[in-house]
Each structure stands twice: as structure tokens, then as C-alpha cells.
Amino acid sequence: MNQIKQMFELQQKLNDATNGEIWTEGATKEGRQISWLRCIHMEAAEAIDSFNWKHWKDLEAPHDLDNARVELVDIWHFLMSEAIHFGDAGFAEIYNDMKAERDTDPEKLVEILEKIIAVSASASVDPSKNSLYDLFALFFQAIAHMEMDIPELYKRYLVKNQLNTFRQDHGYKNGSYVKMWGAVEDNVVAFKIMDENPELTPEELYEQLESAYPA
């Protein structure tokens, strides 16, 4: 199956299970309003904080590029959710074969992330604006500047999607879920499983998480 299409289907399934199928109308099953655009610009701000941009401290500290990639995948979760909510989940295919410059340039990436913040925040304040095409274009530029292609995005998304599903199934909302699996967090275990078995399907990855969790 096309990887973009499969990610959209997995996100729909996760959102249905977490928020109830009513989420596409803009609220959870508990009646809480959902703002995917706000989620996007908050995650973009967190991604910027992965970079050593503060001129007054930690002048020699390295950029946390791995965390920036994690935040980009979180943005992708919310961007797909907004597209499904908006009723136009198919147009992301336009950017599937996008050939952007790949250079891991922190300054360029921060500029793109700031544009994502500006566009998503503006559209959140003014719902009449359709920001999706701009946001998808900016997002694919961002992952290109982190040297991520669609297969890499898919692998990283698959890990977070199945881990989020696993968390929800094992008491994340009521606080009974245990996030520390021994000496490391669950996401470290999940990425290690995927790195060692890159051809795992979503169902197989979930089964591996089930096996690892009791230990």
C-alpha cells in the first residue's frame, strides 16, 4: 500500500479510538474542542527548541537533531488530522515525490518551522483561511532539510503511531500506563525494535511491543 495513504488510514484509526468518531466534527467524545492547528504550531515551537538558537547561553551546545525529527513526526500526526478533519486527506499525494534540497541546514529548518508557526497560528485565529496546502508544502520542505524521505518518515511515524495506540490500550488516559520500561522510555524501546526489524507491519510492531512491555 502507498505509504502516505497508509499513514492517513492509521491516523484516522488512532483518532477514532482516542477521541471517538465524532472528532472529525471538531470535538472529542467528551465534548472537548480540538484545535489541530494549535497542536501544529506548538509542536513546531518545540522543534525550534531542539536547536541551539539562544545567543545568551550554551553557546557551544550541539543541536538535538534527533529530537527535531521526533517533533517533525508529531507535526505530521496533527497535520494529517487537520486534513482529515477538513475533509481533504488526499492532496498530500501532491508532495509525495517532492524533490527538495537535502542538506540538514539548521538555520533553514528553523526558518521553515517559524513559517509553519505563522501559517498555522494565523489559520487557527481565522478559520476562513485554508492553510493546508501551504502547511503541507512547508512540512515536506522541513523534512527534506533533515534528510528525511517518505520511507524514513513512514518508519518514524509507524513507531509513534503504534506506540500511541499501545499507550491508549494500556491505561495512558487513567494514568496506569508505565512509560519507563526498565532504564529507558518506551519510545526508545519502540525505535530499537523497528531499527532491528525495519520490515515490520503495524500489527507486527504492536505485537513486539506487547511482548516487551511486561519485561
Residue 157 burial (CB count, 10 A): 22
The C-alpha atoms of residue 64 and residue 94 are separated, in whole angstroms, by 30
Given this model, what pLDDT does residue 60 score?
87
Angle at 66 between CA 207 and CA 112, to 5 degrees: 120
DSSP for residue 94: G
Cell, residue 37: 492547528
* Cα–Cα distance for residue pair 126/89, rounded to 1 Å: 21
CATH class of 1-146: mainly alpha
According to the model, what pLDDT value does residue 31 have? Answer: 93
Asked whether the whole model's pTM tops 0.85, one would answer yes
Residue 119: how many CB atoms within 10 A of its CB? 21
User: How do the pLDDT tens digits run along the chain, 215 residues long?
Assistant: 588 989 999 999 999 999 999 999 999 999 999 999 999 999 999 999 999 988 898 888 899 998 899 999 999 999 999 999 988 666 566 655 555 556 677 888 999 999 999 999 999 888 777 788 899 999 999 998 888 888 899 999 999 999 999 999 999 988 899 999 988 889 889 989 998 988 889 999 999 999 999 76
149 phi, psi to nearest 5 deg:
-105, -175
Q: Which amino acid is at 118?
A: A
